[in-house]
Amino acid sequence: ARGACEAANAIGAVVDAILVGHSPDADLRRIVTATEGQCFSISHLGEGFELLESEAVVSLKARRGGAEKPPFVPRQVDFRAIAQREIIQGSNVPRVNDSTKERYAGAKVLSLASVESCNKATPLGPGAVKRVLSELKQLGESSARGIHIFPSEDISFWRVLLEGHPDSPFVGGIFAVDIVLPNDYPFKPPKINFHTPIYHCNVNTNGAICLDILKDSWSPSLSVFKCLESIRALMADPNPDDAMRQWIAELTLAHKQSNGADTRYFDQ
């Protein structure tokens, strides 16, 4: 154990541990402490899958709140003097720190009817402001079933409430969604995240959504509303082939392939 710790420290490696059972190895927990890693415990296979796909686990940059990797400094430690790393239950892994959400945490939202009073002092460029105001005006003049949009005083940030699709396990639910528009919108896609946790194979534990039009398939001819419609459709028809949470994808496939007889996905 001492040799493993010295080898990890010599190259600046970060060692995480996933513990199964009720007798965690003390030396392993010391290695995790020495390398500034995390120690997790799981009680069932599903929790293990969720843990391995959690952004807070797989991304060191996410753990650092988006900060860059610090310069490498060889570490020397007294192995026996190292405290054993505390154990985090896999189901209790927190969401990663999102500076964007912190920035808009106290944002005051407006109704679509009062969109003209939005603060034009926004990081968006003039072209983006014109486009966003046009989209918001169109939304105010239409009836968007199941989608309720509340722009903030800074129109680069919107809050949205999505009603669970009637043809999905989420029927009757209300899901909060945050939208941040890039400075050069619509030439880059909006950043859309679920604020309300949702049990869905295409949404990770941090609320990020795996949807093609939010990535490479984005086009300036699309709109925020089109993205929201697609997200709501995705809630009713998940895409297991492009999953962010493979364990839920397996349950989704089992439900579809059994013509609804396998209800584990719906029962979660």
Angle of helix 246-257 versus helix 45-52 axis, rounded to 10:
120
DSSP structural state of residue 38: -
Please tell me which residue in 5, 39, 201, 210 is annotated as part of the active site.
210
Based on its alpha-carbon atoms, the radius of gyration of the chain, rounded to whole angstroms, reads 22
244: Cβ contacts below 8 Å, ≥ 6 apart: 53, 201, 202, 203, 204, 208, 210
Helix (H, G, I), strand (E, B) or coil at 41: strand
Q: How many CA atoms lie within 13 A of 38 on its CB side?
A: 17
Structure tokens that stand for 150 in this block:
């509340």
3-state secondary structure of 152: strand
Q: Is 175 helix (H, G, I), strand (E, B) or coil?
A: strand
177: Cα separation from own chain's centroid: 11
Q: Is 201 a catalytic residue?
A: no
The catalytic residue positions are 210
